[in-house]
């Protein structure tokens, strides 16, 4: 069980014609492109999943232990940038 997150209410999300996902904390930004595994981790995180590492591992068909540390780093980074929001009562450290 990992910490749970939600989509911040003040976040704009837009997908480009080539499929690239862009997110921007409102109102000031800056806009950011979520590339590669960052997009997958972000999508799983804002779905409210309580098993983010497990679901990301399944998406990439790898063992959870092999990616757990990287996923936690990404989640901390997204949280700091305002791209995800810890759900109330959840430990997002």
Partner 1 sequence: MTADAAPLLPRDVAVRLAHAAVQAIADEAGITVLHIKGPVVDATLRAARLSEPVEEGSSVPRPRISVDADVLVSPEQARALLEAMKRHGWQLAWDFDEGSLFAHAATLTHPHLAHVDVHRWFPGIERDPRSAFALLASEARRIPIAEFPCLVPSDDAHRLILLLHAARSLDAGGRADVADLWTAASPDEQAAVRVVAERLDATVALAAAIDEMESVRHRRSYRLWSALRRPGHTHRETLMGHLAAARLREIPTLLTRFLLLNKRRMDREHGSRVSVVESLAGYRTWVAQRLRSRR
Q: Which is nearer to partner 1, 35 or 93 (by Cβ)?
A: 35
Q: For residues 53 and 74, which CB has a smaller minimum distance to partner 1 in the complex?
A: 74
Residues forming contacts to partner 1 in the complex (CB under 8 A) are 10-18, 20, 22-24, 26-38, 41-42, 70, 74, 77-78, 81, 83
Name residues whose C-beta falls within 8 Å of residue 49's C-beta, 6 or more positions apart in sequence.
4, 55
83/60 Cα distance (integer angstroms):
22
Torsion of CA 17, 19, 24, 29, to 10 degrees: -70
Name the minimum Å distance from CB 44 to partner 1: 13
Smallest gap from residue 22 Cβ to partner 1 (A): 5
């Amino acid at each position: 069980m990992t910490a749970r997150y939600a989509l911040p209410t003040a976040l704009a999300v837009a997908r480009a014609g080539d499929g690239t996902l862009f997110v921007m904390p409102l109102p000031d930004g800056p806009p950011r492109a979520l590339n590669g595994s960052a997009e997958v981790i972000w999508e799983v995180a804002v779905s409210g999943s309580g098993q983010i590492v497990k679901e990301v591992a399944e998406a990439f068909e790898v063992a959870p232990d092999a990616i757990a540390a990287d996923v936690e780093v990404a989640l901390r980074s997204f949280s700091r940038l305002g791209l995800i929001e810890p759900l109330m009562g959840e430990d997002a450290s």
